[in-house]
Structure 1
């Protein structure tokens, strides 16, 4: 669709869900954003570790990833 063509009303999606539940879910999701934004390297789970170079290259047959 280009900006010059009119919008076909039949193609516009209609929300048929529960607006109260949608509002609750939006608030729950949006409240976690600040924690993700302010996360520091020390906040990452201690069992996370970088993959070895061999593990990365083993899956790259022929030099392509």
Structure 2
């Protein structure tokens, strides 16, 4: 669930695609991956979670800096 939540936050922070259909699919992917990763090894899910958290921090820092 944490991995799905972090993936959802990361999707919200990225710029929206021009195609509305693609935007809907991108918002639905965290739900799909959350249920798909239930049977995956916990180390892989932990790696994905840490990667998402680091990416969120990196995006936040980049967007926060003045141009």
TM-score normalised to the size of structure 1? 0.35
* Structure ranking higher on relative contact order (CA contacts 8 Å, 6+ apart): 2
TM-score normalised to the size of structure 2? 0.34
**Which has the larger share of helix?**
2
Larger radius of gyration: 1
